[in-house]
Chain A
Amino acid sequence: MNALVMALDSIREKKGRSFLTMLGIIIGVAAVLVLVALVSGYNADITAYYEKLGVNKVGVTVTWYDSSRAVDVLDALYEYGNGELGDRVEGVSPDVSVALPLKYRTTTLESSTVYFGSDQYAACSNYTLESGRDIKSFDVEQRNMVCVLGSYVADSLFQYADPIGETVYIAGNPFTVVGTYYQKDGGTEDSMDDMVVIPYSLDRSMLQTDYLTSFTVKVDTSDHMDSVMAGLEVLLAETIPSTVGEYALENGNSAMTESTEEMTSMSVVLGGIAGIALLVGGIGIMNIMLVTVTERTREIGIKKSIGAPRGEIVGQFLVEAAILSGMGGVIGILLGFGLSLVLGKAMYDLILLPNGLVTAGAFAFSVVIGIVFGIYPAVKASNLQPVDALRAD
């Protein structure tokens, strides 16, 4: 008998229409939840990607004007990073790579990435030794023809055999495998596992270049990035005379920050669009409530003639509008959770769920929309003169 039961009755009586009315709210709420979930999924994905690459890295790029007066920047960086900045820097390595064919017996990998690394290459690029040993500083000094394999290369060339001690040919040159790295990026072709590291001192024989121009300095925490960069700035200014060359420092974290910030600001725009969908849904509710008022004019007249107070009539229509939009909100939330799970799995291989706060907000917003857009029809109904209302058919 109370307003709630009456409203539920009237919604149940017109299932099809009620559902269509709710559709706007359902889509709006689901869109908001899915968008926010996907943005957080994208951010998690980007963060994971950069974490695989290794975070807290300073990139150093040097351009020589006068190569005859070029100095060995790597030695300076290496000494400085492991000496004065040793408490903050985890590793220094050249950042040079080239795609070269790898061959073991009859198996060939056409274009694996070959890195020219220092003994601290693994620390710089976030690789972990699985078996054997890493590149050592004496390998670099003695230009030993040794290599450490990424998991994809190791698996592809050796399957289940132990690669340590075997000889692989990199662009035709024989290298002894001394170690392998754990898989860190899915272990597929063209992933970060499709790689091999050799001592950087082999660059002259392998690449026919005299000077290394890109380096990575790995810092322990993001808090130390600025102080390390300031230190490097001073070192490089002293090491590289301005007439001979110039250098640039790049904070590796800023790329990640930029791309997550970009996505977050995009999510505001997308959220706005979804908000418009909710608003349109609210107008749909107002429209249908106005129709309902017209249809029930006679019922309103009867109620008024037997003494229904105005508040009762207002309440009846408001409750109905709020229930319509609230139900739409609940269905939209369920739909949003379902879609987030499915899309999160498909796009990012993550278990994505909409943010709890956003969910609560979207639900509250949908109910408020129902009430706001229900007020006009409800007041209109309650303002009918009983005689006029009774005369309607």
Chain B
Amino acid sequence: MSLIRLDNVYKIYGQGQENQVNALDGVTLEIEQGEFVAIIGTSGSGKSTMMNILGCLDVPTAGEYFLDGTPISGRGRRELELIRSRKIAFIFQGYNLIPSLNVWQNVALPMLYQKIPLAQRKARAMEALERVEIAAKADYRPGQLSGGQQQRVAIARAIAARSPILMADEPTGALDSKTGAQVLALMKEMNREGTTVILITHDNGIAAQAHRTVRVMDGKIVHDSLWDGLLVDLPVARAVAP
């Protein structure tokens, strides 16, 4: 059973109106546990919409999304909150740290929502900050750090949460190539330790770091290939009208 399965998923804005946009236009996709998948596409291709749906930040207009074999569509808000809290960690291009909290508090925040006691939260946050080599700045505010450092804090937040899935939306987009490479290396390390990583990017070079590349265009998957010493094309399911 796949960890993630999108089954003919549509995300339609302005349905029935003249300016109707099918941001996702019948996407079918399966991702197995432990994979490192890059979803690649130009801006407006629908890749961010796909991430929002995969990350339970948004719900599909039509089609089914199965996470761990259970359908996500029709879940209540509270259940989606719990799923996000237990299963999914995010890294964003804009880091998305909370400016009023210091570094370790930011890292510990998801664990607060997982109802982990304070002492353990702090210990795990510091451990994760050690991993990304930024523990020295634990008491700084995010605004006092460089972009690369902030992104490492965001990664530490994902590591500390111990979520099985990591969603990364253009994580290196605002970074220079060297710090970008560090960030990617950290993500690969998480992947080796068992985290399923889904990387959304427009950059072919970045996408090439992943085992599997899913190319999205105009809301559809146009290409899906696996790099395993040699390149293997995977079948792409056709869209079925909802």
Which residue numbers of A lie inside 8 Å of B, CB to CB? 1, 6, 9-10, 13, 298-299, 301-310, 312, 385-387, 390
Closest chain A residue to B85 by CB distance?
A: A307
With contacts A1-B105, A1-B108 known, is A305 near B113, CB below 8 A?
A: no
Contact with A along B61-101 (1 / 0, CB 8 A): 00000000000000001100110111011101000111111
Closest chain A residue to B109 by CB distance?
A: A306
Known contacts A299-B98, A305-B55, A305-B84; can you find 19 more A-B pairs with CB under 8 A? Answer: A1-B118, A10-B100, A298-B96, A301-B96, A304-B81, A305-B90, A306-B84, A306-B110, A306-B113, A306-B161, A307-B82, A307-B85, A307-B86, A307-B88, A308-B109, A309-B82, A385-B58, A387-B52, A390-B92
Closest chain A residue to B110 by CB distance?
A: A306
Chain A residues positioned under 8 Å from B57 (CB to CB): 304-305, 385-387, 390
Chain B residues positioned under 8 Å from A387 (CB to CB): 52, 57-58
Give Cα distance in the complex from A307 to B77, angstroms: 11
B105, B113, B114: which has the most chain A beta carbons within 10 Å? B113
Q: How far is the CB of B116 from chain A (nearest CB, A)?
A: 12
Contact B100 A13 (CB under 8 A): yes
Give Cα distance in the complex from A62 to B99, angstroms: 86
Query: Total A-B residue pairs with C-beta atoms closer than 8 Å?
Result: 70
Contact B113 A312 (CB under 8 A): yes
Which range contains the number of B residues in contact with the other chain? 20 to 34
Give Cα distance in the complex from A13 to B143, angstroms: 15
Instruction: Give the top 8 A-B pairs by smallest Cβ distance, nearest first.
Output: A307-B85, A386-B57, A306-B110, A307-B113, A307-B84, A302-B96, A387-B58, A387-B57
Contact A303 B85 (CB under 8 A): no
Closest chain A residue to B80 by CB distance?
A: A386
Q: How far is the CB of B52 from chain A (nearest CB, A)?
A: 5
B47 within 8 A of A: no
Contact B81 A306 (CB under 8 A): no
Contact B105 A310 (CB under 8 A): no
With contacts A1-B105, A1-B118, A387-B58 known, is A307 near B81, CB below 8 A?
A: yes
A298, A299, A302, A385: which has the most chain B beta carbons within 10 Å? A302
Give Cα distance in the complex from A1 to B98, angstroms: 12
Contact A306 B58 (CB under 8 A): no
Contact B100 A310 (CB under 8 A): no
Give Cα distance in the complex from A385 to B113, angstroms: 18
Chain A residues positioned under 8 Å from B161 (CB to CB): 306-307
Q: How far is the CB of B53 from chain A (nearest CB, A)?
A: 9
Which residue numbers of B lie inside 8 Å of A, CB to CB? 52, 55, 57-58, 77-78, 81-82, 84-86, 88-90, 92, 96-101, 105, 108-110, 112-114, 118, 157, 161
Chain A residues positioned under 8 Å from B97 (CB to CB): 302
B100, B105, B161: which has the most chain A beta carbons within 10 Å? B100
Give Cα distance in the complex from A305 to B118, angstroms: 21
Contact B78 A309 (CB under 8 A): yes
Q: How far is the CB of A158 from chain B (nearest CB, A)?
A: 78
Q: From the candidates A9, A305, A307, A308, name the one contacting B100 in the complex (CB within 8 A).
A: A9
Q: How far is the CB of A319 from chain B (nearest CB, A)?
A: 14
Give Cα distance in the complex from A6 to B86, angstroms: 24
Chain B residues positioned under 8 Å from A10 (CB to CB): 100
Chain B residues positioned under 8 Å from A385 (CB to CB): 57-58
Give Cα distance in the complex from A1 to B117, angstroms: 12
Contact A306 B90 (CB under 8 A): yes
Give Cα distance in the complex from A1 to B88, angstroms: 22
Give Cα distance in the complex from A6 to B102, angstroms: 12
Give Cα distance in the complex from A386 to B77, angstroms: 11
Chain A residues positioned under 8 Å from B58 (CB to CB): 385-387
Chain A residues positioned under 8 Å from B86 (CB to CB): 307
Give Cα distance in the complex from A298 to B98, angstroms: 9
Chain B residues positioned under 8 Å from A301 (CB to CB): 96
Closest chain A residue to B92 by CB distance?
A: A390
Give Cα distance in the complex from A310 to B76, angstroms: 12
Give Cα distance in the complex from A310 to B79, angstroms: 11
Give Cα distance in the complex from A309 to B85, angstroms: 9
Contact B113 A309 (CB under 8 A): yes
Q: How far is the CB of B155 from chain A (nearest CB, A)?
A: 13
Q: Provide 29 A-B residue pairs closer than 8 Å at the C-beta atoms, listed in order of the A residue.
A: A1-B105, A1-B108, A1-B112, A6-B100, A9-B100, A299-B99, A301-B96, A302-B96, A302-B97, A302-B98, A304-B81, A306-B84, A306-B85, A306-B90, A306-B109, A307-B81, A307-B84, A307-B85, A307-B86, A307-B88, A308-B85, A308-B113, A309-B82, A309-B113, A312-B113, A386-B58, A387-B52, A387-B57, A390-B96
Q: How far is the CB of A47 from chain B (nearest CB, A)?
A: 55
Chain B residues positioned under 8 Å from A312 (CB to CB): 113
Contact B100 A306 (CB under 8 A): no
